[in-house]
Amino acid sequence: MTDLTSLTLAEAREGLANKSFTSLELTDAHLGAIEAARALNAFVMETPDQARAMARAVDAKIARGEGGPLAGIPLGIKDLFATKDVRTTACSKILGNFVPPYESTITSQLWRDGAVMLGKLNNDEFAMGSSNETSCFGPVVNPWRREGSNTTLVPGGSSGGSASAVAALLCMGATATDTGGSIRQPAAFTGTVGIKPTYGRCSRWGIVAFASSLDQAGPIARTVRDSAILMRSMAGHDPKDTTSVDRAVPDYEAAIGKSVKGMKIGIPKEYRLDGMPAEIERLWSEGAAWLKAAGAELIDVSLPHTKYALPAYYIVAPAEASSNLARYDGVRYGLRVPGRSIGELYENTRAEGFGPEVRRRVMIGTYVLSAGYYDAYYLRAQKVRTLIKRDFEDCFAKGVHAILTPATPSAAFGIGEKGADPVEMYLNDIFTVTVNMAGLPGIAVPAGKDTQGLPLGLQLIGRPFDEETLFSLGEVIEQAAGRFTPARWW
Ligand code: GLN
């Protein structure tokens, strides 16, 4: 039998359906791979007993012909998703050993459809970061290395554990979240596929909140088809999240292989940055050429407010984070550091529980929301956000179906290499934050390698709720670029 971990999710689904192997066998193969890959630090909690129990239960269902669309498929769950009776920390010391008494809507939909939970995945603390170095459990290691080098590289962030685990064949797919790029950037850094759906497509209920008007969950998987399969189970209306949209969930997988002939693809000139590496430039033109060869029409478009997106994001996101994180005060959840008064208890707990990046965001957020500065910063950033959204609307009004851009300005970098200057880290999201600011769907698909053999991704941005077009176009790129699998060294 071939190594079960190297199957795609779609292949495993077929193998399970025609009884070539059981979910328990598939699950055990992944549990073994996880154990052998602890050097990557992708999982912060392994749940082998629960995984085997879920696999056995689903095997019995499959035998009765009752399996759901994900029956028997082992997945990893970002530690930002509340999982009932399983520790959920957002990789922050402040949540300590918090064990939620409830399940997030998205994960409950995955279990409803028959998926198996392998464990909880590492991420940047409260999903703040682009390298997975801010996690209280330590950095995640990218399974990719530069050719001829054993320097350890970051997998990107904040969904670094999800991306690393999927790339290293530790799980068949993973949940992730994206507030400014946290699904797409780590996907690009690890040669995996990541889609951030339209804001409102997936329920945020039971996901630890970072910036509520930007946060959106989605899958990271090894192929475009696998992400389409996962999206269908993750998406849907949820009365418990007032921002989730009541709209039928399409069969995303049906979009795979659909012709893209005649589709108009916008190439935004503002994404051609000064000093952009030649290899990113090359990747972008190559991607455009592949879409053209498949019958799409390329048109130059302009998104004039792009340059304000990152600065505006770093007002809006910290503002909302400072408000969301006010609840971690040592009274209700996790860590409590006593003090002589209630005020001191709050101060001691927050000083001890939050890491430096989170503290920086709370301070910036509190400042931009404070009386006297609110209009100058927060309100102004919200106005800029409207302009960014309008840029996209103008573009779509001209008949553009999707926009093609690079996913990141570089390939994965070394652990500890960036971070002395926070802005240097923030620049990772230069191509992805606009999409969150406008609430649009965006997919990152591996498209090539840099000169050192590291994967690079392209991003496709779609019209609201038109994830299907992104899957169709994404698959064209995937077909042309091929699959990206790291050589095993761990
Ligand atoms: N890297 C960005 C930040 O640090 C985005 C993170 C995310 O999407 N969760 O805020």
- The 10s digit of each residue's pLDDT in 117-131 is 999 999 999 999 999
CA distances from 50 to 31, 46, 299 (A): 11, 9, 51
Please state the pTM of the whole predicted model: 0.98
Region class of 285: left (phi > 0), else alpha (psi between -120 and 50), else beta: alpha
Report the residue among 122, 124, 158 best suited for mutation to probe ligand 1: largest number of ligand atoms under 8 A from its CB: 158
Active site residue 240: no
Phi-psi domain of 249 (left: phi exceeds 0; alpha: psi -120 through 50; beta: other) = beta
Q: So where are the chain's domains?
A: 4-262+405-481
Active site annotation includes 302:
no
Average of per-residue pLDDT values in the chain: 97
Count of beta carbons in the 10 Å neighbourhood of residue 122: 30
Question: Does the Cβ of 129 fall within 6 Å of ligand 1?
Answer: yes
Task: Give the integer Cα–Cα distance in Å for 172 and 156.
Answer: 19
Residue-wise pLDDT tens digits, 155-177: 999 999 999 999 999 999 999 99
pLDDT at 237 over 60: yes
Catalytic annotation, pick one of 23, 158, 162, 472: 158
pLDDT digit string, tens, across residues 17-55: 999 999 999 999 999 999 999 999 999 999 999 999 999
Kindly report the backbone phi and psi dihedral angles of residue 354, in degrees, each rounded to the nearest multiple of 5, phi listed first. Answer: -95, 140
Render pLDDT for 288-324 as a digit per residue (tens, 0 to 9). 999 999 999 999 999 999 999 999 999 999 999 999 9
Distance 177 CA to ligand 1 centre (A): 9
Is any atom of ligand 1 closer than 6 Å to the C-beta of 317? yes
Catalytic residue, chosen from 182, 203, 227, 322, is 182
Query: Helices 309-324 and 356-369: crossing angle, nearest 10°?
Result: 100
Q: Which residue among 132, 133, 178, 179 has the greatest number of ligand 1 atoms within 8 angstroms of its CB, and so is best to mutate? A: 179
In sign, the C-alpha dihedral spanning 463, 290, 292, 260 is: negative
Q: Which helix (H) or strand (E) holds 462?
A: strand 455-462
Give residue 275's pLDDT.
Answer: 86
Helices and strands, counts by H and E, the chain: 15, 11
Q: What's the helix, strand, coil split of the chain in %, to 5?
A: 40, 15, 45
Residue of 341, 318, 343 lying closest to 329 (CA atoms): 343
CATH level 2 (architecture), domain 4-262+405-481: Alpha-Beta Complex (3.90)
CB-ligand 1 contact for 140 (6 Å cutoff): no
pLDDT band at 71 (very low <50, low <70, confident <90, very high): very high
Rounded distance from Cα 211 to ligand 1 centre (Å): 9
Residue 457 near residue 444, CB atoms below 8 Å: yes
For the question of residue 410 being annotated catalytic, the response is no
CA of 416 to the centre of ligand 1 (A): 18
